[in-house]
Amino acid sequence: MIENKLQEAVASALKSLYNIEAAPETVVLQTTKKEFAGDYTIVVFPYVKQARKSPEMVANELGAAVKESVAEVTDFNVIKGFLNFSIADSYWASFVGSLAGNTQYGFRPVNTADKPIVIEYSSPNTNKPLHLGHIRNNLLGWSVSELLAANGAHVKKVNLVNDRGIHICKSMLAWLRFGNGETPETSGMKGDHLVGKYYVEFDKHYKDEIKELVAGGMDEEEAKKHAPLMVEAQSMLKRWEDGDKEIRDLWTKMNGWVYAGFDETYARLGVGFDKIYYESNTYLLGKELVQKGLDMGVLFRKEDGSVWCDLTGDGLDQKLLLRKDGTSVYMTQDLGTAMLRTKDFDAQQLIYVVGNEQDYHFKVLKLILGKLGFDWGEKVYHLSYGMVELPNGKMKSREGTVVDADDLITEMEATAEEMCRDHGKNDGMSDDELKHLYHILALGALKYFILKVDPTKNMLFNPAESIDFNGNTGPFIQYTHARIRSIVRKGEEQGIHTDVPSSVETLQEKERAVVKTLHDMPSIVASAAANFSPAMVANYAFDLAKSFNSFYQDTPILREEDAAVKAFRVQLCSVVAQALKNSMHILGIEVPERM
């Protein structure tokens, strides 16, 4: 790539002109700002002290030396300490030709001999269906996995289903009390929705009990602990951990309903996993590690029987690992899961995609693993992301104020259908083709709107804004791809072979802009992976689509009279379509061939 040539030439010139030793990779190249002539810029200020010359003089001397040694450099200019290089049109054109037939542009081959990077995402509780917050988690986890794989990493996607604990017991108890034997079959509800209904039902009755106790003179915090439903739910959890058959059978039945519901939602979202772990299988290993910590003296037991880790020396506080009745907490099972996952994969890194409200939890997890003597605890990385909010505020599962994932997808599909009909983008397609189109546009809108936001930031979700065919949206990029593929098909009908390299000597300004944006893709994908940020790829895809549309509006393609120029432009279209397809693949978004 031309960037490497420039870096090597600058490093060589620094040595020959000023005896400055600089490794080529340390020479920082930037894209030249639009208001200045040039393609790449080097800031020379870091070298002026050793060179003992003014920034302008250093820049001019370096520019002359690089132009002399790099044939692709046609000119340079100096703005104070900024050295701008112009690259020949022939280089950009030959670059397009080099991509003819390359379906893997922007991707590096995966080396499966490497130790894997294990990425955990989704991690739902089996007391409620997936909602909008889970959607961001799933889409981010899937996309980061694909992003790292695009950079050659050996990735394993895993899910930890939180299928035990007090929250699950709340749904179970409410179903026993108020369900009258209702099932997914008798109710017509998906299993996860049915169980979630009783989680909300528990909270409603629980709050009534608290009010009654407070009215009787009890302190509210005490009322929360002593409300009969909460006491019974705690007792149910203890019976579950003790292996009570009646409770275990009920748990198996209701979890089965939820698993079936989850699988359906995952399929609609287009996400999946290489392995699924269950908290009910890992918490016992966590309890064994807690016992190990007690034996080592790094954990301690309080008088009430509960077990803790003292982290005050690490600037934190004391962390509960086992309750006084011996039941485990989330940290207990996370210790066990981390141990099991390490044995399963011998991973080079364990990435947890979890919201930023759990930042403290993962600091504690790493510290406790270290105190237990596990050096691999340093491999734990918390990919912390911001919350998804609605125009009317945060969602609360226990109160039923959530945006359900299934309902949202259905609503988005209906909106996509309406938008297509309004814009006349569904002509000449069969019913099955239209159904598929509406689905991929709906998911494209949803996924792109969520993934274009930097993962670390909170975001406000606006369904109507996400599905517009104009602006920075998934459907805009999907439609651009379909438009490009239409041009390519027509070009192929005229005998233009896009898998055979073609070239030209000069490029028009907007044509050149498309090629330069196209050229940036590998570095964008690499930088996005280093930052675990699919947003960088999303916004790159938008920039490429926007640049292409500007070119398309002003430049003849199929109407071009010069046969060589026409062939080159059709080939450029083909390469841009592939780059858009590959970029959107990283985001988990399918692009249509026609609309």
Whether 423 shows a pLDDT value over 80: the answer reads no
Q: How far apart are CA 119 and CA 139, in angstroms?
A: 12
CB of 120 within 8 A of CB of 351? yes
184 contact partners, CB below 8 Å, separation of at least 6: 190, 191, 194, 257, 260, 261
Task: Give mean pLDDT, residues 389-403.
Answer: 56
Q: Which one-letter amino acid corresponds to residue 276?
A: I
What is the domain-level CATH number for residue 50? 3.30.1360.70
Residue 103 counted as domain residue: no
Q: How far apart are CA 470 and CA 453, in angstroms?
A: 18
Length in residues, the chain: 595
Residue 113 counted as domain residue: no
Do 317 and 418 belong together in one domain? Answer: no
Query: Can you give the residue range of the structural domain that contains 27?
Result: 2-87
Do 437 and 377 belong together in one domain? Answer: no
Query: Sign of torsion, CA 259 254 201 233?
Result: negative
Each residue's pLDDT tens digit, 341-394: 999 999 999 999 999 999 999 999 999 999 999 999 999 999 999 988 776 544
116 contact partners, CB below 8 Å, separation of at least 6: 153, 154, 155, 156, 345, 347, 348
**CA 135 to chain centroid:** 11
Task: Give mean pLDDT, residues 470-487.
Answer: 94
Residue 450 counted as domain residue: yes
Do 62 and 140 belong together in one domain? Answer: no
Residue 63 counted as domain residue: yes
455 contact partners, CB below 8 Å, separation of at least 6: 140, 383, 384, 385, 386, 532, 533, 534, 535
Do 320 and 390 belong together in one domain? Answer: yes
Please count the other Cβ atoms lying within 10 Å of the Cβ belonging to residue 274. Answer: 14
Please count the other Cβ atoms lying within 10 Å of the Cβ belonging to residue 148. Answer: 22
Do 342 and 446 belong together in one domain? Answer: no
Name the domain boundary from 357, 372, 399.
399
Residue 96 counted as domain residue: no
Task: Give mean pLDDT, residues 290-319.
Answer: 96
543-582 b/e with 16+ CB inside 10 Å = b? ebbbbbbebbeebebeeeeeeebbbbbbbbbbbbbbbbbb
What is the domain-level CATH number for residue 485? 1.10.730.10
Do 31 and 135 belong together in one domain? Answer: no
Name the domain boundary from 368, 383, 399.
399
Residue 479 counted as domain residue: yes
Do 217 and 197 belong together in one domain? Answer: yes
Do 461 and 549 belong together in one domain? Answer: yes
Q: What does the pLDDT read at residue 427? A: 72
Per-residue confidence band for 439, with pLDDT thresholds at 50, 70 and 90: very high
Residue 591 counted as domain residue: no
Whether 400 shows a pLDDT value over 70: the answer reads no
Whether 399 shows a pLDDT value over 80: the answer reads no
> Considering only 503-512, 567-576, 585-594, which range has the smallest mean pLDDT?
503-512
Do 287 and 196 belong together in one domain? Answer: yes
Burial of 470 (0-12, 13-18, 19+ CB in 10 A): exposed
- Facing residues of 393 across strands? 390
Do 309 and 187 belong together in one domain? Answer: yes
Do 423 and 354 belong together in one domain? Answer: no
Task: Tell me the backbone φ, ψ of residue 203, rounded to 5 degrees.
Answer: -60, -40
CB of 62 within 8 A of CB of 83? yes
457 against 465, higher pLDDT:
457
CB of 487 within 8 A of CB of 555? no
Name the domain boundary from 399, 429, 449.
399
CB of 572 within 8 A of CB of 515? yes
Residue 112 counted as domain residue: no
Total domains in the chain come to 3
Q: What does the pLDDT read at residue 499? A: 85
Do 208 and 225 belong together in one domain? Answer: yes
What is the domain-level CATH number for residue 202? 3.40.50.620
**Token pair listed for 43:** 């800031």
C-alpha neighbours within 13 Å on the C-beta side of residue 562: 11
For tokens 């945006």, name the residue.
Answer: 403
